[in-house]
Amino acid sequence: MLSLKPVPVSPPLAGYAQLPELKRPWIDGYLTRFLRRIPHLRTDLDWRDRLGALAAGFSFGRGRYRVLPGLYALGEPDATGPVLVTANYKLTVDLLRAALSGLSAWLLVLDTRGVNVWCAAGKGSFGTVELLAKLKQCAVADLVSHRQLILPQLGAPGVSAPAVAKQAGWRIVWGPVRAADLPRFLASGLNKTEAMATVNFDMADRLRVAPVEMVQSWPVLAAGLVLAAVAAIFGRLDFADRLNRFVRTFLAIGGIWASGTVLFPILLPWLPGLAFGVKAGCLGLAWGVAGSLLLGSGPWFGAALTLASGAVVSFLGMNLTGASTYTSQTGALLEVERSTIPQAVSLLLAAVLSIVGLLVRRGAQL
C-alpha cells in the first residue's frame, strides 16, 4: 500500500521533504511523489564540482566530501524506473549523475560516511545492514512497481544478495565497474559485458592514487625539514656549508617521499617480489644507494639513508594495497604484521649510523 503522508526522519534523510542540508548547487529542484519531495540531481558538473573533485583527489576535505544519504531522482523516473544504489561520497555521486545525463532513474544513497563504494564495502558501511535500513527508511517500495536494485560490482564484498532477497524481497543485479558504462548496461537490458566487469589497475589508475598518498605522507617531508635543520646546525660550518648540508639532507628525504608516493605506483608491476612491502622496500633501497652517490653522503650517512629509505618506502608502499585489484584484506593485514618490526629495526639502525657519522665528522673537524 502506498504511503500518502511524508514520514519524519531523524537524522535528516533525503527523499521526504525540502531540507536545509539539500540546498546544494547539484540539486536543481524536487519531484513530488505521494506528498514526498524527492531532490532532483543535476547531471551537468560545474566548476564547483570539478574544484571539489580536485581538492578531494589531493585529500583536502576528503572526509567531508559527501552528500546527504537518502533517495534522489535523476531525470523523470516513474514507477518502472531503475533503482541504483551508491555511496554518499560526493565524487562517486558526481560520476553517476554525469554518466546518466538524459536518463531517468532513482538513486538510493547509502550512508558510507563519505567513503567510496569499494572501500566502504571492505569496511562494512556499504553493506547488507545499511542497504536494508535505507530501503525501509526511504520506503523505496512505495515508489516503484518492481523489486530490483542495481548495485555497483565493487560493492559486492559488502552486500549479501541472498540476504537482501530473503529479508526484504529485493533482487540485486550487479552493475558495471565504471559509472561510464551504466548507459550501455541499462540500454542492453542489464546485460554486462566482460569489459564492463573488468577492474583495471594500469598506470593511469595507480597514478590517481598518488596525489592522496603524497598529501597524507606529509610527515615524511616534515621529518625531512627537521633532520635537515639539525644536520645544518651540527658542526662548525659557515653559512654556505650549512645551507648545502640542509639542501642535501632534505633532498635525500624528499627522494624517499617521492619514491614511496609517486615512483612506487608507477613501477609497481616491474619491482621484484610479491608483497607490496617487499616491492617498495627494494625501491627504497635503490633510492638510498642512488641518493647517497648523487648527494655525496659518505659511507656512514649513505648507509643510514639506504636503511631509512628502504624502511619508509616499504611502509608507504603498503598503503597502495587498499587500492589494488590483487590484494586481500587478510593478506594486507598479514603483510603489515610481518613488515612492521623489520621496518622499525631498519629505522633504528639508520638513526644509530647517522649519530655515528656525525660524531666521526665532528672528530675529524677537531
Q: What is the pLDDT of residue 362?
A: 67
The pLDDT, as a whole number, for residue 35 is: 87
Average pLDDT, the chain: 89
- State the pLDDT at residue 56: 87
CA atoms of 2 and 239, how far apart (whole Å):
80
The pLDDT, as a whole number, for residue 327 is 65
Return the minimum-mean-pLDDT range out of 162-176, 194-208, 271-285, 343-357: 194-208
| Average pLDDT rounded to a whole number, residues 154-182 | 94
Domain ranges of the chain: 20-197, 203-365
- What would the pLDDT profile of 105-154 be if each residue is shown by its tens digit? 999 999 999 888 988 887 788 999 999 999 999 999 999 999 999 999 99
Label residue 2 by pLDDT band (50, 70, 90): very low
Residues 88 and 70 sit within 8 Å (Cβ to Cβ): no
Reported for 157-161, long-range contacts at CB under 8 A and 24+ positions apart, including other chains, are: 157/121, 157/122, 158/120, 158/121, 158/122, 158/123, 158/124, 158/125, 158/126, 158/127, 158/128, 159/121, 159/126, 159/127, 159/128, 159/131, 160/128
Distance (Å, whole) CA 190 – CA 202: 27
Looking at residue 331, its pLDDT comes to 74
The grid cell for 153 is: 560490482
Contact 324, 213 (CB under 8 A): no
Tens digits of residue pLDDT in 32-65:
988 899 999 999 999 999 999 898 888 888 888 9
In the predicted structure, residue 189 carries a pLDDT above the cut 60: yes
- In this prediction, residue 347 carries a pLDDT of 92
pLDDT score of 318 more than 80:
yes
Question: What is the model's pLDDT at position 162?
Answer: 96
Q: Is the pLDDT of residue 232 over 50?
A: yes
| Residue 316: predicted pLDDT | 94
- Of residues 342 and 9, more confidently modeled: 342
Q: Which fold has domain 20-197?
A: Rossmann fold (3.40.50)
Query: What residues have CB less than 8 Å from 246, skipping those under 6 apart?
Result: 228, 229, 231, 232
- 5 or 320, which is more confident: 320
* pLDDT range class, residue 181, cuts 50, 70, 90: very high
pLDDT at position 364 is 58
Among the residue ranges 190-194, 222-226, 307-311, 321-325, the one predicted with the least confidence is: 321-325
Question: pLDDT category, 4, cuts 50, 70, 90?
Answer: very low
H or E element at residue 221:
helix 218-233
Q: For the segment 77-114, what is each residue's pLDDT rounded down to a tens digit? A: 999 999 999 999 999 999 999 999 999 999 999 999 98
Average pLDDT on 198-205 reads 83
The tens digit of pLDDT for each residue in 233-255 reads: 876 678 888 888 889 889 999 99
